[in-house]
Structure 1
Amino acid sequence: MTASPHSDHPTADRPSGARPLRSAVVLGGSLAGLLAARALVEFADVVTVVERDVLPDGPERRKNLPQAQHVHTLWSGGAKAMEELVPGVTGLLAEAGAHRVPLTKDMVALSSQGWFRRWDESHHMILCSRDLLDATVRAQILGDDRIKLVERAEALGLEGTAGAVTGVRVRGHDDADSDSDSDSDAEYTLPAELVVDATGRASRAPQWLTALGLPEPEVRHVNSGLVYASRVFRAPENARHGFPILNVQAAPRDGRPGRSGVMVPIEDGRWMVTLSGTRGGEPTSDEDDFERFATEGLRHPVIGEFIAGAEPLTGVAFTRTTANRRYYYERSRQWPEGFLVIGDALAAYNPIYGHGMSVAAQSAVALRDVIRRQGWGTPRLARALQKAVARPVNAAWDLATGQDVFFPGATETGPTLRDRILAAYVDRLLYTATGNGRIARRFTDVSSLERGAHVLLAPSVLLAAVIGPLKAQLTGPPLTDDEWKAAGDRSS
């Protein structure tokens, strides 16, 4: 899979009189990085993806991606964007065993304001393990010979000035498991007309920019102290197809630690269950405690009741790196030509909302669309790109932090007045959505990233919020008798 960093160098000779070779470098072989590379091949002659580790050949765990062990969701807004970039990919995922789950028809969810009803399909999710999704997308993108993968290579810094980035300094490692700075590690420069940072939460873009003489970017942190614990179970035979998502959400404003849980179907007849808790309410990594937390720790025991009779296939995967962090690069007064930050390097979210992959796909589409409109190499293109990729980020950021900011210690100053006003309105809409299918659909429009949050401010939605739910609230999870029976019927 690895290409030589020198044999396919972007400065390869061209016939006399030919236009200059267009080159781009993407830092990071993450999903965000690969989708950005796919978007760029429409314009660049060669796109070099620089990856610190060695990418797996199949659906195996990628190194330094602990979140892959937890529930991942590809919302329909992200799935449509991914299909636009990689035609046929959702069909390939389905062939590999991924589930297409209709929403809200096959979602059983307890919101902070009560149980949602199961309305007719309006949107959908693609559900499978992160390993399977990454492998499927990666195989399609790296099969394009215009995209060159350089593995075991670490980006050291940007080449250029405060006005324009012209390339990236890279150190190659001969030993796949070595992080050393030994003399055998070769350093070289990859010239590029566009450098894209998709290195994730570990991004060093702020330091690289200040090294060029640019000011530090504006940043916001919202850290609820959330801890994740996940485990995979074999689903009962009658619950392996068409079984709904189970989702018990926290109540951020009830003055207690937020505890939540989600159970989703994934490939090979399995359920993946992720439990989470904020400061003072965290799950543990103890296998014996997993079912107890799901049954007694959440606001309703439905998930615990279903996994009680299911066969565990793995131990408990445990992760603490869940803080929300957002860099506002698009607000920078100075921005260099030839540089773009995307994916988790731009904004990393509490994973419980499941928007990271969808935002990555939508950002890559935005990247492509801006270059189509403005043209490769036009003045101030990089600034326009940075603003464009921020738009899908903004929607996901507001969804994530609008809840997390209310947990104790999440921010230094606590919720702002804007946070409190928006939260009060969202709570009223959630309450209305428990008994109004039209408002439930508007919520799913936003959470699926198919429409912006502005739809929640339409006059008809405001009026519905004043009126409230049209149907009485449910007193328990809206599961059918067959669904209860499929898992052993312990509660119907």
Structure 2
Amino acid sequence: MSQRPTTAVVLGGSLAGMLAAAALASVADRVTVVERDALPTGPEPRKGLPQARHVHQMWSGGARALEELLPGVTGRLREAGAHRLPITTDMVALSPKGWYRRWAESHFMLLCGRDLLDATVRAQVLADDRVELVDRAEVLGLDGRDGAVTGVRIRAHDDAERTLAADLFVDATGRASRAVQWLTDLGLPAPERREVDSGLAYASRLYRAPEAARDGFPVVNVMADPRSGGPGRGGVLLPVENGQWLITLLGTRGGEPSADTADFDRYAREELRHPIVAELIAQAAPLTDVAFTRSTANRRHYYERMPLWPENFAVLGDAVAAFNPVYGHGMSVAALGAVALRDVVRRHGWGSPGLARRIQKAVARPVGAAWDLAVGQDVFFPGATESGPTRRERLLARYVDRLTLTSTGNGRIARKVTDVMSLERGAQVLLAPRVLLGALVGPLKPPLTAPPLTAEELKVAGLR
């Protein structure tokens, strides 16, 4: 006798949802993706993505997970114009402790517009016959008891309501997730939750890069200083597809950039800790008006700590934890979480007792790593929390400050820091004896006094 087909339903058709579908398609017979909006067929804007017009990147830890889930996707993105930039070789960054040197490659970033990334991933996922898309459908709630989820109720675009049954339901609906309400409706308590909101605002524009700089240019990042005692202000230049630069200016509560396009250049020139971003965009041609968002708070639900967890239900991506996008970890965490989801199902098998709880605990591991990195910085901005940093966060911040300073003049320590930033290794590597000794000794080279752009980069950018 043949076994009953295994099925899964993924709620949400954005990047996290599509990666969850890809993960489950390798272990299930049928996966249904339920999406509220009508998804575009190509690299076009879509609703519900406040971050799409602003800087973002896929760190190498996430990019490797992406390729593991969707073999060949990195090549397709590169063919479409995405850039693979080695870190810190192609990164010009002013940290709170000074300019980083451009050390030999340790990791990399995958850079392109969000529309291109989503369209490329979506096309490959939906090309799998095991994956079905139900779009323009609203999720009404879950059916079941506190012990198990048995179905999800949806309303289609024609107002017809139905219930989908499956062996596993995955919520990947992002920051707008209603998982807390769904769980309490099933009789479960609300999970522990924490929010760290620096009041960060983003103002972004697309530019046509100078012609000679369109085939390759480093990331430029003037970072905000979370321990200056006042608002943080920063700016980022990312080279993306089609010879374009994506520029984002950012400021925390009390130091926000304006949504007014006319004020963009002034903020870049006068408010940042160094005018390099303003100098570069002065050589480029603006292609868009300013896109503006305040959807940047760090928000985490500790589902993995709940004393009771229903069978057949898991939460993934921003629905678990949404991060300040300035650190670029949200997409990478979603990819790593999808790999964790797949691996737990493979290891324990469909229908095994406690499978969903095991999934939730596995998903929490990459979430925790990125959370500590983001919150460990943002908690120091004025008004980010009611109570301010914890004692643990203050102690860690002192050590991170020392590592940051050391990284400006010690390539070996810089590599360890990027091991963690890229989500390729856990934070425990920063406590290794050689790293502790390196931090104690401090930088081995004197501080840089100017952005480490090469003479050729200055020339092609029109600055020399």
- Common fold, TM-score beyond 0.5? yes
1:115 aligns with 2:89: no
Q: Matched residue of 1:330: which SS?
A: helix
Residue number in structure 2 paired with 1:364: 338
Partner Cα separation in structure 2 for residue 150 and residue 210 of structure 1:
26
Residue number in structure 1 paired with 2:210: 236
Shift of 1:136: 0.5
Does the CA contact (< 8 Å) of 1:40 and 1:368 recur in 2? Answer: yes
Q: Matched residue of 1:102: which SS?
A: strand
1:279 aligns with 2:253: yes
Misfit runs of 4+, over 6 Å: none
1:250-280 Cα offsets, whole Å, 9 max, x none, are 1111111001111010000000001100011
Matched to 1:274, the amino acid is T
Shift of 1:324: 0.5
1:376-404 Cα offsets, whole Å, 9 max, x none, are 11000000000001100111111111110
Partner Cα separation in structure 2 for residue 427 and residue 163 of structure 1:
46
Shift of 1:242: 2.3
Residue number in structure 2 paired with 1:478: 452
How do 1:104-143 residues align onto structure 2 when only pairs under 5 Å count? 104-143=88-127
Residue number in structure 2 paired with 1:100: 84
Residue number in structure 1 paired with 2:277: 303
1:55 counterpart (35, 39, 58): 39
Partner Cα separation in structure 1 for residue 216 and residue 48 of structure 2:
33
Matched to 1:94, the amino acid is R
Shift of 1:487: 1.7
1:149-198 Cα offsets, whole Å, 9 max, x none, are 00110111111110011111111123xxxxxxxxxx11110011100000
- Listed as ranges, the gaps of 5+ residues in structure 1 are 1-16, 175-184
Partner Cα separation in structure 2 for residue 353 and residue 282 of structure 1:
17
2:373 counterpart (399, 412, 415): 399
Does the CA contact (< 8 Å) of 1:217 and 1:327 recur in 2? Answer: yes
1:30 aligns with 2:14: yes
2:155 counterpart (171, 180, 190): 171
Partner Cα separation in structure 1 for residue 375 and residue 267 of structure 2:
24
Partner Cα separation in structure 2 for residue 326 and residue 62 of structure 1:
25
Q: Matched residue of 1:188: which SS?
A: strand
1:292-321 Cα offsets, whole Å, 9 max, x none, are 111111111100000012100000000011
Matched to 1:173, the amino acid is H
Partner Cα separation in structure 1 for residue 48 and residue 25 of structure 2:
27
Q: Matched residue of 1:386: which SS?
A: helix
Residue number in structure 2 paired with 1:66: 50
1:332 counterpart (291, 295, 306): 306
Aligned pair count reads 464
- Listed as ranges, the gaps of 5+ residues in structure 2 are none
Matched to 2:424, the amino acid is E
Shift of 1:43: 2.0
1:195 aligns with 2:169: yes
Does the CA contact (< 8 Å) of 1:340 and 1:386 recur in 2? Answer: yes
Residue number in structure 1 paired with 2:348: 374
2:200 counterpart (226, 233, 237): 226
Does the CA contact (< 8 Å) of 1:167 and 1:194 recur in 2? Answer: no
1:247 aligns with 2:221: yes
TM-score by length of 2: 0.99
Residue number in structure 2 paired with 1:260: 234
1:89 aligns with 2:73: yes
1:355-384 Cα offsets, whole Å, 9 max, x none, are 111111111111111111111110000000
TM-score by length of 1: 0.93
Partner Cα separation in structure 1 for residue 458 and residue 24 of structure 2:
48
Q: Matched residue of 1:148: which SS?
A: strand
Matched to 1:129, the amino acid is G
Shift of 1:422: 0.4
Shift of 1:21: 2.2
Partner Cα separation in structure 2 for residue 42 and residue 440 of structure 1:
37
**CA RMSD of the aligned region, Å?**
0.8
Shift of 1:67: 0.9
Shift of 1:447: 0.6
Partner Cα separation in structure 2 for residue 489 and residue 413 of structure 1:
45
